[in-house]
Amino acid sequence: MRHSLFEIMGEDVARARSSLGREELEFGEKITWGFCLRVRKQSMSWSLRVRLGPKYGTWRIGDALVMDVDTARQNAREALL
């Protein structure tokens, strides 16, 4: 399941945390291209989806249970430079 948001906020992280272990989600952000919050069965992580030539790749930025959204977003923006 994928949800597109203009900007990921703290309440989105709280909602994602409540679904940890129950369902897999991905919250993509429009304000920072490629930045997303990925929820899997056992983990929540900040990621950056990028195009590498003809293929797409996903870079893990950090653990969303430890790193706040503002720090993760700043790291994603620096990686895009």
What would the mean pLDDT of 19-46 be, rounded to a whole number? 89
CATH of the domain at 64: 3.30.160
pLDDT for 45 equals 95
Residue 2 in this model has a pLDDT that exceeds 80: no
Residue 80 in this model has a pLDDT that exceeds 80: yes
pLDDT tens-place string over residues 53-65:
899 888 999 999 9
What's the gap between Cα 69 and its chain centre?
9
Q: pLDDT band at 4, cuts 50/70/90?
A: low
- Does the pTM surpass 0.85? The reply is no
Contact 9, 27 (CB under 8 A): no
Percent of the chain with pLDDT over 90: 40
How many independent structural domains does the chain possess? 1
Range of the domain at 70: 2-80
